[in-house]
Structure 1
Amino acid sequence: MEFPEDFNQLELLDTHGHLIPRGARSSWTASKDDEAEADEGDRGEEWYQNKEDALKDKSKELTLWAAENNRLPTVLRSLTADPSLVHCCDEDGYTPLHRAAYSGHVDVVCALLASGSKVDPRTIDGWTPLHSACRWSHVAVAACLLRHGAELNARTNGGLTPLHLAASYTSSSKMDSTHILELLLSKRNLRPGLRSSGGETAGDVARRSGPHYFLFEMVEECVSVLPS
């Protein structure tokens, strides 16, 4: 799918968000029937073991899948056998760190960073793991990435910052959406005035798409009412 350089990436999220690769979807080896069957029932330990067995001879796919599915022991075993797998990626450019961040698995995120993962790898669309964490309001993951030096104002190919994505209010939990914004807005080096390719600031996005615009008062210039 190709888009002009000036397309509005936030509008694309609204209309095609279900097509954004959530890790394993881009290199998933199961059939559609298998996926439907798995979605219909609970995924017990036996299901996960069967998946690991199916991917045991595909080390890259196994590492990516394990990172997305919070299989920390499997991730660690893979990296022990081949440390370079910490940098592997799928056809969309999603690394194990992206997948763990996307899914909110903070222990896996910390383990990958400790194993040498770059904190700001880019997908083909320019997303960093911090973008992925903020898109789905994973506060603990975002905080961990920022502690490890993640670029707070990183911009995607469409000019979106993590703050733009947090402001779009996409989380099913109102509290998580509030907390991710509070985390980002409290950072000293935040540049809230950056505009996307569609010309919007994160505050503009929050104003039209969520109930949390008032939080942006944290970064507004104060007006002094004291006599000079």
Structure 2
Amino acid sequence: MRSIETIPPLDSVILEMAEEGDIQGLQNAVARDPQAVLGRTDRGWTLLHRAAVFGHTDIVDFLLNQGADPNARDRRRFTPLHGAATGYSTQVPAMALLVAAGAKTDERNSDWQTPLMVCAQYSNPYGMVYLLGCGARLGFKDRRGRTALEAAKQALADVFKGGRFARQRSDLRDMIYILESFKATDTPDNLDRPRDRQRQRRVIRTSMTGIGSDG
């Protein structure tokens, strides 16, 4: 695998196409310069990182078909799946494409966060439920010693302290409920892998019906 330093720099115009969802422009640019798929910014971002962050599913699909690495890491060790986890419901199809292409659900960034933890940090219940359904593990802790559940509880406390963002409070409550319910069905083995998949799938289906409602 080539280091970031040996990969060609990414043109800012092409990067903007990935961020803004300009699929036609991006396809034309890649046709002229196929190496752009492997290009990096000074932060280590690839086109796939940026398309995933903004939930441009058609561009994510195109880049994966052109050989983009679903597990590429930027300088903070974020993968495209970490990027997609910062979003909301519109990012879930992009997450699904990444996982189908081989993205690892339990990769950890420089803060030791998995994509599941990033969902908790960014109040993304839809992404969280999707990752749980893919078998994302609950037991990891970030550099501050917090699990995804503990991070969600801290985020809720911070939001209440600010006295605003009613929608975010509702989402965080949903996430805490789902994580606690999911944890209750978790019988981990020595790899911290949940065994009771059938019960956990029922928790996911039940939880999805309540996400986004005010509580």
Distance 2:177 2:100 in 1: 26
TM-score normalised to the size of structure 1?
A: 0.66
1:184 is displaced (CA, Å) by 0.9
Say which of 97, 102, 108 aligns to 2:48: 97
Matched, 1:207 2:207: no
1:140 is displaced (CA, Å) by 1.3
Say which of 153, 173, 180 aligns to 2:106: 153
1:82 is displaced (CA, Å) by 1.3
Amino acid in structure 2 at the alignment position of 1:214: Y
Deviations 1:12-55 (A, max 9, x none): xxxxxxxxxxxxxxxxxxxxxxxxxxxxxxxxxxxxxxxxxxxx
Identify unmatched segments of 5+ residues in structure 1: 1-57, 171-176, 224-228
Cα RMSD of the aligned pairs, angstroms, is 1.8
Indicate the SS of the match to 1:143.
helix
Matched with 1:164 is 117
1:146 is displaced (CA, Å) by 0.9
Mark the CA change 1:59 to 1:196 in structure 2 (over 3 Å): closer, same or farther. Answer: closer
Q: Which has the higher contact order (CA 8 A, sep 6+)?
A: 1
Deviations 1:66-93 (A, max 9, x none): 1111010111111111111101111101
Amino acid in structure 1 at the alignment position of 2:42: E
Indicate the SS of the match to 2:117.
helix
Say which of 137, 140, 145 aligns to 1:194: 140
Matched, 1:122 2:68: no
Kept after mapping to 2: 8 A contact 1:185/1:219: no
| Structure with the greater alpha carbon radius of gyration | 1
Matched, 1:79 2:30: yes
Distance 2:105 2:92 in 1: 14
Matched with 1:184 is 131
Kept after mapping to 2: 8 A contact 1:120/1:150: yes
Distance 1:186 1:59 in 2: 34
Distance 1:214 1:82 in 2: 48
TM-score normalised to the size of structure 2?
A: 0.70
Matched with 1:11 is none
Size of the aligned set, in residue pairs, is: 159
Matched with 2:93 is 140
4+ residue stretches of structure 1 with deviation over 6 A?
A: none
Identify unmatched segments of 5+ residues in structure 2: 1-8, 156-171, 188-215
